[in-house]
Amino acid sequence: MPVSNYPVYEKYGHISDITHAMSTFLDWLEKQKGLRLCEAYKPQYEWYVPICGSKEELLLEFFGINLADLENERWMMVKEQKNAGASAHAGMN
């Protein structure tokens, strides 16, 4: 089996449906039930504050995907497609 040039993006492709479903469920909990993801304000207190990060970022972290790496691979794919298009156009002349 060939090694992918875009392993992070490939991994994301395998889990994108489940992360979308989980994110939709969390949105539903917040809107319909008034529940929010929270974290302890300080360990010594029993106060909680809503999380600062997005649900999507938390899901990617859970599945071991680095958002910066994913974005880098997306840009590499765009650049590769542009180069392929330019090469194809140059071959027509």
The parent domain of residue 31 ranges over 7-83
With b for 16 or more beta-carbon neighbours within 10 A and e for fewer, the 24-45 pattern comes to eebeeeeeeeeeeeeeeeeeee
Detail the DSSP E strand segments found in the chain. 38-40, 48-50
Domain total for the chain?
1
Is residue 2 situated within a structural domain?
no
Is residue 44 situated within a structural domain?
yes
pLDDT over threshold 60, residue 90: yes
| Cα(5)–Cα(89) distance, integer angstroms | 24
pTM above 0.85, yes or no: no
What is the per-residue pLDDT across 31-84, written as a single tens digit (0 to 9) for each? Answer: 999 999 998 888 888 899 998 888 889 999 999 999 999 999 999 999 998 888
Is residue 28 situated within a structural domain?
yes
Do 8 and 69 form a contact (C-beta atoms < 8 A)? Answer: yes
